[in-house]
Amino acid sequence: MRELLANLGCDGACYAVDVTDARSLQNAAVDFIGRFGTPDLVIANAGISVGTSSGLPEDLSTFRKVMDTNVFGMAATFQPFIAPMRERGSGTLAGIASVAGFRGLPGAAAYSASKSAAITCLESMRAELHGSGVSVVTVCPGYVHTPMTEVNRYRMPFIMGADDAAWRIARAVARKRRLAVIPWQMALVSCVLRVLPGWLYDRVFARAPRKARSLLQ
């Protein structure tokens, strides 16, 4: 990344941190602000997607790791920048959630729960920061072609290339959308999922394909 910034002629900095380590994130944020000032935009994009089975005790550690990364990691990424942005009266916090956060997907309890929590957390932050000049953007992508999804052995409707997804996300963030579901086809799917009666959802999705399990340490 440092080489890329140098080749682009950009003045920037790179920090190798664990998003579940709030102290490391705080130190990186303090260093960044000291060198460049309060940023205009902070994006929380770190995430883990892995299948879990609710009945297996060995999957509990994986569940915790997913929640720590996808939820706590997002909150810890934003926290150091909120006060400086409020003091300046401007800035954007953008969190990458997922359409998987709208309903609980079988075999993905950890991932669905983490993204649902991310959506709700961002909504709370948006209400807290209302009128401060700081915008909070929630982005819920559908499937994106990355190494994370290459392991899926089932059809992924409306899957986007990584570059296409990045462009769509950037556009939603630039427009300061409160909630952006991309692509638009997945927005329609998410609307249907949210209004589907529980008894029908259970019956239909009980037979849905499931993401492969993987134990995380």
Helical segments of the chain, H only: 2-7, 22-36, 60-67, 73-88, 109-128, 147-150, 162-174, 184-195, 198-205
Asked if residue 42 lies in contact with residue 84, where contact means CB atoms within 8 angstroms, the answer is no
Q: Cα(208)–Cα(192) distance, rounded to whole angstroms?
A: 16
Q: Cα(110)–Cα(171) distance, rounded to whole angstroms?
A: 29
Handedness of CA 176, 48, 211, 121 (dihedral sign): negative
Q: Cα(130)–Cα(140) distance, rounded to whole angstroms?
A: 21
Q: 15, 111, 143, 154: which is the annotated catalytic residue? A: 111
Both structure tokens of 169: 């996300």
Q: Which helix H or strand E contains 136, and what residues bound it?
A: strand 134-141
117 HSE (CA, 13 A, CB side): 17
Does residue 111 carry a catalytic annotation? yes
Looking only at the bridges linking them, the beta strands covering 144-145 and 160-161 are: parallel
**Active-site residue list:** 111
